[in-house]
Structure 1
Amino acid sequence: MSPRLPARLFAGECGDRLRAVAGGDPGPPLTGFATAEERERLARARVLLTGWGSPVLDEAALAGAPHLVAVVHAAGSVKAHVTPPCSNGGSP
């Protein structure tokens, strides 16, 4: 999601609870899946917390996220970044 959103969306007690569930600070938001660091973080992810400005979750992104079990969206619509493979288990 956009780098400025976590501080706005998850401040105070809400942020504290999110970090407790996540097992610590999840680090800065990913704005893409192109760099080695972004791909490595995606490969470890079990849950993605998305929002405005999130990168597209297409077949390539899903293939790079072998442990992913859920995408939780903290915004309005997911149509800008969730593609059909997300809704049917990764099958085209």
Structure 2
Amino acid sequence: MVIANFPGAELIKAGLADLTAGLVTIESLLVSIAAPGLRDVGLAVGPPIPDAELQLYALLSARDGLAAHSHYNALLRRVASFRHAAACAR
């Protein structure tokens, strides 16, 4: 499956690479949160980072301050859009 044209593909690609490399990044945390759904659409996802939701919010809070909550929700919506597009493509 070619995922490059799906919404949020850049986040998923970066997150998969970061997760494989053992890096804790916004993208790898998103992939960790979405791991079950990403596996359901046929992507190979390694073991997720524990407490990914809390770690993601902490990273966003440090970076974005009071805007962290809306950025957190926006990122999760992009990942959900990716999963939906990938499921439709299957």
What is the TM-score normalised by the length of structure 2?
0.32
Q: Which structure dedicates a bigger proportion of its chain to helix? A: 2
Which structure exhibits the higher relative contact order, with contacts defined as CA atoms closer than 8 Å and separated by 6 or more residues? 2
What is the TM-score normalised by the length of structure 1?
0.32
